[in-house]
Structure 1
Amino acid sequence: MNNPLQRYTNLKFLVVDDFSDFRQSIKQMVESFGVKHVDTCSEGEEAIRKYAEHQHQVVLVDYNLGDGLSGLQVLEELNYRQLLKPGTLYILITGETAMELVMGALEYRPDDYLAKPFTKNILKTRLDKLVQLQEVFQPVHSALAKGKNITAIELCDSLMQKNKRLSMQCLRLKGDIYLKSGLYPKAINVFKTVIEQHELTWAQMGLARAYSGINQLADVQTICKKIISKNKYALEAYDLLAESDCAMGNFEHAYTLLKTACDLSPNTLIRQRKLGQLALRYLELETALNAFKRVIGLGRYSIKIRPDDFVTLLQTMLQIQFGSYGSLSLRVPKDYASLYREINRKYPNDIQLSLVVNLHQILLKYLSNDKGTALSEMEIQLQKCHSLPDTLKPYLINEITFVGQRLDEPELKQSISNQFLAHQAEQFTQENIDKANNYNRQGMLKFKEKDYLTAKKAFKTALINSPSNVNIALNLLQCLYRLAADKQFKQVEPSLITLCAQSLESIDPGDHRFAHSQNLFNHLKALLATKV
């Protein structure tokens, strides 16, 4: 362990604040503690670039950074981009004390929360505690950074034996490692051990996520409901409960949950996107409009934004414009120009997204009774879509479907159906949640019996019936890995690996299942490479 008098000498600090005087003040404070390397910047994107370059051990970030990412969103982005190294201390600074902000900060787990104004002594006291703990766990974090998860777990066990006061922190780390590795039964054991001693929210959430990983959705629901009943601000529990509701086909309850969660903490892009999607399912267009507007706003400086978000917002605006929404129907068209500019700024070279915008503008003209001109322009754009050398992206297919549903011309509608939508329609008619769940349960039973071939067939049927179900895709991928490990390479069809990849491509890197899916793909690839 470092000499306390030299504790800060070799640490790199990053200070982020949009006010130069305050930024300089914090820099001088930490330099007085002995820090030699202090980087400073004024906005979120620059903070992410500097952190990626220098890998600072301590990051002090003001919540309010003016335009662009907030301090909380910088933390979210670092996690999402998988840049935040194990052991990095992230301290959020703010002068605001609103419940919404505090709860949002807790959601993304900064290591500490400093309210302005604070003195040098207060900062030093907080840092001393955090850095001392960082030193203790440095070997664990070093092992995790190198991908040595087993070593990290062994080090946690050793720390617990040496210092009982560190038991909870060690168990939390172990549980998180097992979750990210897809070792759900081991994660369950760890979190249950904690809960037997203290019913801590983080352990309950870990247990719920582990149950989600093995598709025990009833247990997920029970735990998440219990967490929410005790703490209405437990936002992660809302998200996981809504996720399990969707997997079970209970979309209406998921919609209600996400509305509540977004009211409590509105600045989470992924949650707003899910709310918007569910609002559209129930034709709650005003809710969908507000959700996707917020998605676009939050996504201006985020890599989490998708072309689909812009397409969905355009479609929602059009439906409101030509629906019966009073003054809202009159206001919506005024936002088209700024949205077109944002699309062009964000995706200047996306030909398929440009075609979406063209189709949208022509549909506006058609619905505004300029049908003659619109139809001839529509046919030209559809021909361009048909002539593209690349496979059509889902968002372009989505827009073509949207256009086709709003045309009155039978011949053009039929042409669209024949050229673009036949395969898509077949996919939609196969979506049968009950059937998928039944086959998934059969597959899990056979998997436990180590009858991997029968399990594979059941999981395949389940996934075909519910291609968007991430848990089923993970089950099938796990089964393919087991078959490959048993040298049954002929049973590991490339088409099934592709099917899994397509179903899993929507997982956000922040989702605990992302690392598990990547590990499975990598291990499967390595096994197939040994095939003679």
Structure 2
Amino acid sequence: MNLKLARQTRVLVIDDQVLAKGYLKYSLEELGFQNIEYADRVSTALTYIRRNHYDLIVCSYDLKNEQDGYFLYDQLKEHNELPPSTAFVFISADTTADIVHSIVELQPDDFLAKPFTVRELDRRLGRLLTRKHALKPVYHFIEQAALDKALLELENFLTEPKNSEFFPLALKLKGELLLACAHFEEAKEFYQAIINVQNFTWAQLGLIRSFIALDQDEDAEKLVIELALRQDSMLAAYDLIAALQIKHKEFEDALESVEVASEISPRNIHRHAKALDLSRLTHDYESQFEAAKKIVKIAKNSIHDKPEIYLNVARAGIDFAMTADDELTKRLIRQSMEYLKQLKNNFPKADIDDQLKVIDARLLYLEDETENAKALLDQLSNDSWETESIEGLLDKAKAFHEVGFQEHALNILDLIERRCNNDPAQSQLFLQYVQQEKTEKAEIKLSPKALNNSAVNQYQRGDLEKALQTFRQAFTIMPKNPSIALNLLQAAAINLRETNSDAAKDALSTHLIHNCLKAIESGKLTEEQEQRYQRVRKVLKDLT
């Protein structure tokens, strides 16, 4: 360790374990560090970081008292509260695969597994702080949001032979700055030049991002598929695959890619939020419910632990229950109520009365108490729409639509869409979901729960054409439901067999057959449904 550099370095140690903190204090002092401050809680650490500039932050990954180090770092990055000139080092005794993946994904400056020796600390911190010090002029411009000046300073840095040991990091930083400055063509040429010399993973990922920004998606797809097969790039590759799939509106495939990435690194709450948005867009109510539950589990003791996420689990449970059979509906309601109980215990002072009334109204509707549900919704005030949370408004729109107040629901969805359009931070996936909800709720007056029952009654009365239309509406908003898929396929096949009209042929398109078969084969059928399915398959075979 350069003794002069150590004495100039202001250090913050964040750890709530007395013995670990004592050993770290001893080790740092042995290496010549003198200006050291300590915090054993995230709230204290945040106060220090917001008041002072630190050259080095050494943080325990797992803090028991409050929030853990993972979410502290996540918050600092998300709110741009960690200057790039500050070196951030995680320490952890836990080196299981998901922990390592989570830390690597956050991209701290270094990660030290406990126990470590003073010699190892000397080597790692010495190299890290020397690097930070050498690139300090570049970081200064980045901190001032003067990215073009940072790029120019970096170009000058790369012309100096004395800086050669830092060239790999400087080149990686150059690529990131080119992308941040939207110099996409230049970034593409830069990354290709790097790869021609040495095939760095970071250069390949940067090249893919350049391809996507330049709408050269075929080139991006070829390269990203290769990276998805490699352990060191798998996680980033799946995120880029999902980005491409979302760009092409292949939302089901994107959901699958996001879920694969979530299995690799399960603590990334933003990825679970993306899975939630994608599952809503694809009407995958089970995946929506699972993603909402994972967010609550992961958010515990973090900045993300808020009343809204518990409400979202209950809402997702009700959405799922609207499409489920009676037995599953009862289980989903019990689980939803359990999350509301947790919410009340964890946030006893939360102002959520109106949102709970909406949830109660939807639960009443599930129990066929529509009039009581309407009476409860009548108690809600319209004055708070502009300030109410978007998720709360969305649930309110669903509740009004379910009890038959279609126009009221559409007015709320109009408001949500306007607010999303005026908020650049709002997820584009969520905006697309709201627009989809508007279209579907304008065309389909009945709730998911009512659609299939209505279609069955029409079918039993012999009104095949009307039943077919209603089954199609039900399948539009419940494409994963095998029972509805079977009913639709059966009605369409019988309609074609009896009429052989062009309209009947159009109704039983190859696309419809494929989607119905996919839902049926992926789901579970009763014995009676299985027998009916085999008869329908025989009819289809004869017709086609």
Aligned to 1:390: 386
Look up the match of 2:256: 256
Q: 1:451-473 CA distances to partner (integer Å, 9 max, x unpaired)?
A: xxxxxxxxxxxxxxxx9xxxxxx
Aligned partner of 1:38 in structure 2 is 36
- Residues 142 and 281 of structure 1: is their aligned pair in 2 closer, same or farther, counting only changes over 3 Å? closer
Partner in structure 2 of residue 267 of structure 1: 267
Code of the aligned partner of 1:376: A
Kindly report which structure 2 residues correspond to 1:32-181, keeping only aligned pairs within 5 A, or say none.
Answer: 32-66=30-64, 68-163=66-161, 164-181=164-181
Q: CA deviation at 1:136?
A: 1.4
Matches within 5 A, 1:219-368: 219-231=219-231, 234-300=234-300, 309-321=309-321, 323-324=324-325, 326=328, 328-329=331-332, 331-341=334-344, 344=347, 348=350, 354-368=353-367
Greater Cα offset, 266-275 or 398-407: 398-407
Q: Which has the larger displacement, 176-185 or 92-101?
A: 176-185
Letter in 1 for 2:93: G
- In structure 1, give the amino acid aligned to 2:135: F
Structure 2 residue corresponding to 1:420, chosen from 400, 412, 418: 412
The verdict on how the C-alpha distance between 1:504 and 1:369 changes in structure 2, with shifts beyond 3 A counting, is closer
Please say if residues 18 and 66 of structure 1, whose CA atoms lie closer than 8 Å, have aligned partners that are also in contact.
Answer: yes
Contact 1:311 1:399 in 2 (8 A): no
What TM-score do the two structures reach when normalised by structure 2?
0.70
Aligned to 1:435: none
Give the secondary structure class of the aligned counterpart of 1:230: coil
SS state of the match for residue 228, structure 2?
helix
Tell whether the 8 Å contact from 1:340 to 1:357 is kept in structure 2 after alignment: no
1:245 CA displacement: 0.4
Q: For residues 65 and 129 of structure 1, do their structure 2 counterparts lie closer, same or farther at Cα, with a shift above 3 Å needed?
A: same
**CA apart distance, 1:24:** 2.3
Deviation digits for residues 343-392 of structure 1 (CA, Å, limit 9, x no counterpart): 856x945xxx64232211222133334444332222121xx12x337376
Shift in CA distance, 226/392, structure 1 to aligned 2, threshold 3 Å = same
Distance 1:414 1:91, change over 3 A: closer
| Aligned residues of 1:64 and 1:71 also touching (Cα < 8 A) | yes
Query: What is the one-letter code of the residue matched to 1:337?
Result: L
Separation in 1 of the partners of 2:194 and 2:306? 39
Letter in 2 for 1:59: I
Partners in 2 of 1:504 and 1:342 — Cα distance? 31
CA distance in 2, matches of 1:172, 1:35: 29
In 1: Cα distance, 2:213 partner to 2:306 partner: 26
Match of 2:527 in 1: none
Q: Residues 49 and 360 of structure 1: is their aligned pair in 2 closer, same or farther, counting only changes over 3 Å?
A: same
Question: Can you list the C-alpha shifts for 1:65-98, whole angstroms capped at 9, x where unaligned?
Answer: 1254332332222111111101221111111221
In structure 2, give the amino acid aligned to 1:420: I
- Describe the shift of the 1:419–1:291 C-alpha distance in structure 2 as closer, same or farther (beyond 3 A): closer
CA gap of 1:286–1:420, structure 2 versus 1, over 3 A, is: closer
Shift of the 348–311 alpha-carbon distance from structure 1 to 2, 3 Å rule, reads closer
**Conservation of the 8 A alpha-carbon contact between 1:228 and 1:237:** yes
Q: Distance in 2 between matches of 1:157 and 1:363?
A: 60
Aligned-pair CA distance for 1:112:
1.6
Larger Rg: 2
Would you say the 8 A contact 1:140–1:156 is kept in 2? yes
- How far apart are residue 316 of structure 1 and its match? 1.3
Distance 1:271 1:133 in 2: 31
The count of corresponding residues between Structure 1 and Structure 2 is 424
Matches within 5 A, 1:190-209: 190-209=190-209
Q: How far off is 1:129 after superposition?
A: 1.4
Q: Tell me by how many angstroms 1:152 deviates.
A: 2.4
Structure 2 distance, partners of 1:245, 1:54, is 43
1:470 equivalent in structure 2: none
Give SS of 1:8's match. helix
- Contact map agreement 1:178 1:187 (CA 8 A) in 2: yes
Aligned identity (percent) is 20
C-alpha contact (below 8 Å) 1:157/1:170 kept by paired residues: no
Deviates more, 1:155-164 or 1:112-121: 155-164
SS in structure 2 of the partner of residue 9 of structure 1: helix
CA RMSD after TM alignment: 3.1
Structure 1 residues 389 and 4, CA gap change in structure 2 (3 angstroms):
closer
Cα 1:507–1:66 shift into 2, 3 Å = farther
CA distance in 2 between partners of 1:145 and 1:282 (Å): 40
Output one character per residue of 1:105-126: Cα deviation in whole Å (capped at 9) or x when no partner: 1111122221111122221121
Retained in 2: the 8 A contact 1:8–1:35?
yes
**Distance in 2 between the 1:167 and 1:232 partners?**
21
Whole-angstrom CA distance in 2 between matches of 1:79 and 1:367: 42
Unaligned runs of 5+ in 1: 428-466, 468-497, 509-532
Does the 8 Å CA contact 2:242/2:258 hold for their aligned counterparts?
A: yes
Residue deviations 1:427-486 (CA, integer Å, cap 9, x gap): 7xxxxxxxxxxxxxxxxxxxxxxxxxxxxxxxxxxxxxxx9xxxxxxxxxxxxxxxxxxx
Task: For residue 84 of structure 2, give the secondary structure of its aligned residue in structure 1.
Answer: coil
Counterpart among 413, 427, 444 of residue 506 in structure 1? 427
Question: Closer, same or farther in 2 for the Cα pair 1:233/1:199, shift >3 Å?
Answer: closer
**Equivalent residue letter for 1:367:** L
State the distance in 2 between where 1:143 and 1:319 align.
48
Tell me which residue corresponds to 1:29.
27
Gaps in structure 2 of 5+ consecutive residues: 430-544
Cα distance in 2, alignment partners of residues 4 and 368 from structure 1: 72
**Residue 481 of structure 1 aligns with which residue?**
none
